[in-house]
Amino acid sequence: MDLDDDRPSAPAASALDPGLAALRFLGGFFVLRTGAPPGAPLPTLAEAYAVPPAGSRDALADRVRRVADALAAPEVRVAASVAQQALAARLWSVALGCAVRYGRLPDLDPRLLRWDPAGSAPGDLWLTVVRPGADGNAEAVAEAVLHGHLEPLNAAVRARYRPASGLLWGNAASALVGAARQLVGRASEQGRPDTAERVRVLAAEILAHPLLAGTGTFAAPGSLTGFRRRSCCLYYRIPAGGYCGDCCLPRPARTPAP
């Protein structure tokens, strides 16, 4: 595979390069920095998911506080929901991007990923050691993201901010669909229908996982369009926040302009 080609890769497994350069061409949420982050040591995601020792920095609380301030959130659980969904989107994007571009995952152990809770939304991530993980199939992606990250992340958010469990898993499903749509769109733009179909199949298989099953419905089987979740992320409660495209809530009727 030519890593300078900005088209999504074929599904054949390829060696992981030390900088995960193939992800850079996907942009945005898909980029994963590698090596040690510059400056002061940053917490690992494993540390962010755990209860911090007394007197030490609480990375998750720092992030939620930052989101709450930026959005003028009326209650902290709204900010917690937004922060959790943003981090879920980053993790899905990285895992799906590697599955598509390399045909395999790097080891995404939370102890190897460092996180800047004060960084630009949705948060900068550094993979400190790039070493081969599992092949990039749905089971491996689910194991890495759902079990490796979202279960402990959701448990931490639930313990501190008390949002409903269904809300958090709905956020996870919504984030997965959003990441998959981005990859499908990129593949379609580059004339890679096989890659687009691979992404659709991956997403559908992951959404069938017991932790995500029933979190939402699609307008048409086998499509990533028309997804509507069965829970609400609470974003509408933010001043001028509005409703997400996949929101389960009915939209209020608009008042005609005079």
Task: Kindly list the domain boundaries of the chain, sorted by start residue.
Answer: 21-237
Q: Are 247 and 237 in contact (CB under 8 A)?
A: no
DSSP 143: I
Q: Are 25 and 211 in contact (CB under 8 A)?
A: no
Which two three-digit tokens encode residue 66?
Answer: 């930052």
pLDDT digits (tens, 9 = 90+) for 73-108: 999 999 999 999 999 999 999 999 999 999 999 999
Q: Which residues pair with 30 in a beta bridge?
A: none
Q: Which residues of 154-181 are buried (b: 16+ CB within 10 A; e: fewer)?
A: bebbbebbebeeebbbbbbbbbbbbbbb
Query: Could you give the CA distance from residue 217 to residue 230 in angstroms, rounded to a whole number?
Result: 8
pLDDT digits (tens, 9 = 90+) for 1-11: 333 344 334 44
Identify the residue whose tokens are 């040690």.
Answer: 36
Between 234 and 154, the higher pLDDT residue? 154
pLDDT of residue 167: 95
CA 134 to chain CA mean position, Å: 19
CB atoms within 10 A of CB 221: 7
pLDDT digits (tens, 9 = 90+) for 99-143: 999 999 999 999 999 999 988 765 689 999 999 999 999 999 999
pLDDT of residue 252: 52
Provide the whole-model pTM: 0.89
Query: Mean pLDDT throughout 178-205?
Result: 91
Q: In this predicted structure, which of 15-19, 52-56, 142-146, 248-252 has the lowest mean pLDDT?
A: 248-252
DSSP 228: E
Query: Could you give the CA distance from residue 41 to residue 214 in angstroms, rounded to a whole number?
Result: 40
pLDDT of residue 256: 39
CB atoms within 10 A of CB 66: 17
Helix (H) / strand (E) element for 105: namely strand 104-106
Identify the residue whose tokens are 């590698």.
Answer: 34
DSSP 44: B
